[in-house]
Structure 1
């Protein structure tokens, strides 16, 4: 019996790595603008300064909170510079490895100030980030997360990275949620470079459709949700007494276990192959033999990445196939061609094909929002 679109969402793009990937990155620096332009000033970091004695008897070390909710810093007994930042809630969601991760509260702790080490800088800062993982599918899935904390030095414009260890957790049941905690360290030698306004979490490798969550006001959210193609559902290609009906289609960013480069996306299609003929009907062997896509405006063409083969007489099967499309040109009208080695007798075959036009749109949705879920 054919599997339902709900339970077969990922045979190409959701063949996901099971387990948890630790991201323990050593602090480094370099130039780059992938996470936004360098900030003109580090308004997030409140640096403690020496203050002259006041005549009104007020304690110059008393902290306060300005109109923007940024806490002032009390002077350390030794005159060091303590970093005090208010906690902030991000509330942004990205799609990574079959799970949806919502970034919650971010807290920055000055470890040297808390330990009374100032003005010495030995432990630096700790950045704690609350994360909720949601599994939108029907089956259990393990966390598969590689997240990097980066920020831009507002003075030099150099890109820096924190280092940390992954949270420990079990699998997330289908339709369930799990709370995770990310923890990053900012080396004591790099405290003066840290800017929460330019900081961002990057899930995955640069250049491979990484999901990005800005932690400040700079940068762009890149959620990387699949682009569901509701308008393609139900489209049927008929040839003699066999047919192919699209059950589900979406634009994704994985091909098998591999993340695609930024220049490509995958159009994945689940379809039903119905054989109402008197003979078994089979797809051609190999990739690129059975389905073709041609963009009607640009002339860009591509072929399928393979599928299953044969359906017996009077039966139907639900299978999947996919097409690699350019990231900057996947939308628009495409001509879908099905090539079939049609068997019309015990030892008689015909090389036939049929076509239909389909629209591909830019429509990123949470999987829970898909009409077929």
Structure 2
């Protein structure tokens, strides 16, 4: 059966089914979307401005997808429409091409067992052990004791807590508590894992270990992971694609390397700012808009945006610019196999005039910013 025929037989109003069929014909990737938002809106009672407004987005099966934005951008509202903890005011949410908007309670229960969720503050029961916290959803679902024991043991081994069965939450570190939360979210073998600021309460080292665990789970179990955060470093380290929200609307989206390499919206640039090395205060104080002497060095900020898969060679840059080249600050790192970063360099005693130095630098870097001169 074709995608169009399946949609037309789905029980939707003919005009909606026909429109969906047309969209799938024009955009075949929509047919494989695991989660799809169509014209999604959410307005809370007593608020004039919508929390979500006109969200059109698709998330592919098996990917790690990031949703980022400042506080109040609508991240939590959006992610919670996937398991219907939030009911949209307008628009639709499709999972595996099925509109979940009209699900009754029984279908919602079954849906939510297919969707695990982990939280910023762990939400563990303090009076229960690690084992009991993970086992509880299985008990509630009426799973037999032998199956519960097998499943809990398997999951605690997966998250690296096989020796913490009898510990209580108060005896665990923040990272260990989050590992319990991850194990609990996986008890029903979900297809989708939602992460609601799952690393925001953790230190950088622990955050890195939790992201490594989520990456391993994604690869080993084939889960679709949808992650919301206000930390661009988290998006950089784990996600394949990202969407940036502001005031409930999508302002930018794409592959992580593209958004990081060439952010187009001011919100994206602001969120990326903490990852950019600030200009050293000593250098800032010495910068002048014009050279003060014939020996003055031209200071350039060279950005590499990942448009080429091979990292550009420094030897090529130095040969192009000529003279005495000093690397003042910066670096280039791979993101999704693409070289991204920036270098702050000074160029002195070059045989080329400043205009030619800048033009030659543009042949090496994606963007060239002239910061000034230092003597």
Normalising by structure 2, report the TM-score.
0.25
Query: Would you tell me which structure has more helix in proportion to its own residues?
Result: 2
Query: Would you tell me which structure has more strand in proportion to its own residues?
Result: 1
For the pair shown, which has the larger CA radius of gyration, 1 or 2? Answer: 1
